[in-house]
Amino acid sequence: MGPTDVPRVKICCIGSPAEARLAIRYGASAIGLVSEMPSGPGVLEEEAIARIAATVPPPVATFLLTCKQDAASIIAQQRRARANTLQICDRLDVESYRVLSDAMPGVALVQVIHVNGKASVEEAVAVSPHVDALLLDSGNPALAVKELGGTGRTHDWDVSALIREHVDVPVFLAGGLNADNVRQAIARVAPFGIDVCSGVRADGRLSEDKLSRFFASVLGGARPQSPSPT
């Protein structure tokens, strides 16, 4: 991404068709739908994920967040949810990526890299040839109860910038982003896309006020007026 480019925006932890519509009205290029996780916010039953995904018009991407680590279970989950993108939140063996790609042509694979130091650069470089994009987050899969996203914490953006420089696939930046810090994050990392959950939510729901301020910050201009209903 060049210094003047505006990154794509993915709004994660979407909880209903109404929240999906609101995110898309403000300019979301993708929405995130969270399936069963060991921890973190926004978890939905798969039936609800499928209902929401069915309402999202192209070309908006529907990301199914999965913590599963075996290809057969991930394939079955995607076929139930019918999302067009898989966000793989835990580590997989290399062979699993080939199995997933062969079984689901047209479904994009996005691997989450939990940025916990310079070792994350090597991890990202190793996995990048097998996926369509990387998403850099602030979880910790090594904990007894794994953190696989939704922590609301930032991480070392300098490491994320190194990853972006060393891989040949698009990079999404996640982890603790909000209207107050997203411009700094974009300037530091220059990601293809950014991903936000808690930074645009209040009282358990998507906040139109926070959403408006977030997109205004991403665009680097004046706060937009509420768009017309669709």
Handedness of CA 203, 138, 60, 165 (dihedral sign): positive
Residue 108 bridge partners (DSSP): 85
Residue 173 bridge partners (DSSP): 136, 194
Q: Which pair of structure tokens corresponds to residue 222? A: 């004046």
Decide which of 35 and 41 is more confident.
35
User: Does the pLDDT of residue 4 top 80, yes or no?
Assistant: no
State the DSSP string of 81-133. Answer: H--SEEEE-S---HHHHHHHHHHSTT-EEEEEEE--STHHHHHHHHHGGGSSE
64-75 pLDDT per residue, tens: 999 999 999 999
User: Does the pLDDT of residue 102 top 90, yes or no?
Assistant: yes
Integer angstrom CA distances of residue 13 from 33, 64, 93, 147, 224: 6, 10, 26, 15, 23
Give the helix/strand (H/E) hosting 143.
none
Res 3: pLDDT? 46
For residues 122-145, average pLDDT: 87
Q: Which of 18-27, 113-122, 125-134, 140-149 bottoms out in mean pLDDT, i.e. has the lowest?
A: 140-149
Q: Which pair of structure tokens corresponds to residue 134? A: 């990387």
Q: Which pair of structure tokens corresponds to residue 79? A: 């076929």
pTM of the model: 0.90
Give the helix/strand (H/E) hosting 63.
strand 61-66
State the average pLDDT for the chain.
Answer: 91
Integer angstrom CA distances of residue 34 from 31, 88, 149: 10, 11, 10
Q: Which of 6-10, 136-140, 162-166, 197-201 bottoms out in mean pLDDT, i.e. has the lowest?
A: 136-140
Q: Measured between alpha carbons, how far is 60 from 63 in angstroms, rounded to an integer?
A: 10
- Map tokens 């480019």 to a residue: 5
Residue 186 burial (CB count, 10 A) = 22
Q: Which residues of 167-184 are buried (b: 16+ CB within 10 A; e: fewer)?
A: bebbbbbbbbbbbeebee
Residues 6+ apart with CB under 8 A from 179: 199, 210, 213, 214, 216, 217
Res 144: pLDDT? 61
